[in-house]
Structure 1
Amino acid sequence: MLKLTRLLLMLVLACCTAPAIAEDDDGLQCVPYARQVSGIQIYGDAHTWWGQAAGRYERGSVPQVGAVMAFRPHGIMTLGHVAAVSKIVDSRTVLIRHSNWSTINGRRGQIEDDVAVVDVSQANDWSEVRVWYTPIGGLGTTHYPLAGFIYKGKAPKQPKRIERPLFQVAAAAPAPRRPKPLAPTPAAAPAPRADPIGDLISSLGS
């Protein structure tokens, strides 16, 4: 009976001393950290944030300090990823704050503040990026697709998108001019045929 009482007491103490917000074995996930540092109140898996933001928050393709950078699922990153922009370095580089990206000291779920993300899209529209990866001390080689940026306040001015038709019909080339027909060459007069019999008769009659 005494052992049972002690066991129950230990369970009660364990429950009372547990953290208010439990974390899983991977540590702090990207979603609660992005929500905390950006103030954007969206819940659910990272890949759902872009769709959830429609009608609630302004969205766009231009980075802004405080905006959430929303990653699309890619490869083994099936749930997507979210991060908060902390600084604009130039038109191709920003710093972000995020969690559960790099493996640090053998553990996932680590917070990283002010690490680089570089736009590697051909159109400089932030549709594809490379992200700092701490274990190698530099940018990773993978190109990750972005859905865009979610803004807590007013969105910055967005570039105009040029809508191009899926199929572009080339203008018809002008038909080649037909050469004017050449005037017919007048036929040469037929050469008189030799008539030795007629010549002989003519000479006899003279």
Structure 2
Amino acid sequence: MKRFARLLPLLALVTVPTTASAASLLNYVGQCVPFARAASGIQLYGNAWTWWEQADGKYERAHKPRVGAVIVFAKTHRLPMGHVAVISRIVEKRVVMLTHANWSRQNGERGHAEQDVTLFDVSPRNDWSDVKVWYKDVDGLGGGVYPVYGFIYGAAHTAPELTSDHPDYVGALIDAYVPISGEPIAR
């Protein structure tokens, strides 16, 4: 027992605060996986790209966005661990908003949570297999196209901070459909 008592102060030093102990999910700084788990209630673990297969038989999976669903980005050279995010709003057939962590840099660092970010389906068949994501550093859709496995639907309740009280639907549509360069936004 004395040995355990001596270890207790050391354990306190290595304990990492979880999103559950944060004042708000939006104060989270860290990886996308724990954030998506806390925001969606979907209890999967491991690298983001593995969530699609892990969900098979445990959660409903499909290729249509739904509020509270986790979108699973494929593993690529640019995303070696994949990425997961939670759908916060449906804007229209090819434009949704998502809430996620560890995408854009904020104050020079990655890991921060972002709420109601534009996600645009740029897949040739409008099936959400390829997307573009709003990127804070350019204040618009980033230049990359990311392959997506699909959406995982959970049965649990989503976090209250998943979406804001006044999401910018017009801004999301402008991000998706009004090209800055004069070139159509697509692949």
Instruction: Return the alpha-carbon distance in structure 1 between the equivalents of residues 46 and 63 of structure 2.
Output: 22
The equivalent of 1:203 in structure 2 is none
The equivalent of 1:121 in structure 2 is 123
Q: 1:14 to 1:106 in 2, by over 3 A?
A: farther
Aligned length: 141
Give how far 1:14 is off.
6.6
Q: Tell me if 1:105 matches 2:107.
A: yes
The equivalent of 1:88 in structure 2 is 90
> Counterpart of 1:107 in structure 2: which amino acid?
E
Give how far 1:15 is off.
4.9
Unaligned runs of 5+ in 2: 1-5, 20-28, 156-187
Which structure has more helix as a fraction of its residues? 2
The equivalent of 2:48 in structure 1 is 46
Instruction: Return the alpha-carbon distance in structure 2 between the equivalents of residues 100 and 31 of structure 1.
Output: 9
Instruction: Return the alpha-carbon distance in structure 2 between the equivalents of residues 149 and 128 of structure 1.
Output: 13
The equivalent of 2:32 in structure 1 is 30
Residue 134 (structure 1) aligned to one of 129, 133, 136: 136
> Counterpart of 2:32 in structure 1: which amino acid?
C
Superposed counterparts of 1:54-93, under 5 Å: 54-93=56-95
Instruction: Return the alpha-carbon distance in structure 2 between the equivalents of residues 16 and 87 of structure 1.
Output: 39
The equivalent of 1:160 in structure 2 is none
Unaligned runs of 5+ in 1: 1-8, 154-206
Give how far 1:16 is off.
3.1
> Greater relative contact order (Cα 8 A, min sep 6): structure 1 or 2?
2
Residue 151 (structure 1) aligned to one of 150, 153, 161: 153
Q: Cα RMSD over matched residues?
A: 2.1
Which structure has the greater CA radius of gyration? 1
Instruction: Return the alpha-carbon distance in structure 1 between the equivalents of residues 132 and 80 of structure 2.
Output: 17
Cα distance per residue 1:177-200 (max 9 Å; x no partner):
xxxxxxxxxxxxxxxxxxxxxxxx
Q: Percent identity?
A: 49
Q: Spell out structure 1 runs of 4+ moving beyond 2 A.
A: 11-23
> Counterpart of 2:112 in structure 1: which amino acid?
Q
Instruction: Return the alpha-carbon distance in structure 2 between the equivalents of residues 68 and 22 of structure 1.
Output: 20
Instruction: Return the alpha-carbon distance in structure 2 between the equivalents of residues 37 and 12 of structure 1.
Output: 31
Cα distance per residue 1:18-52 (max 9 Å; x no partner):
544479xxx41000000000000001110100000
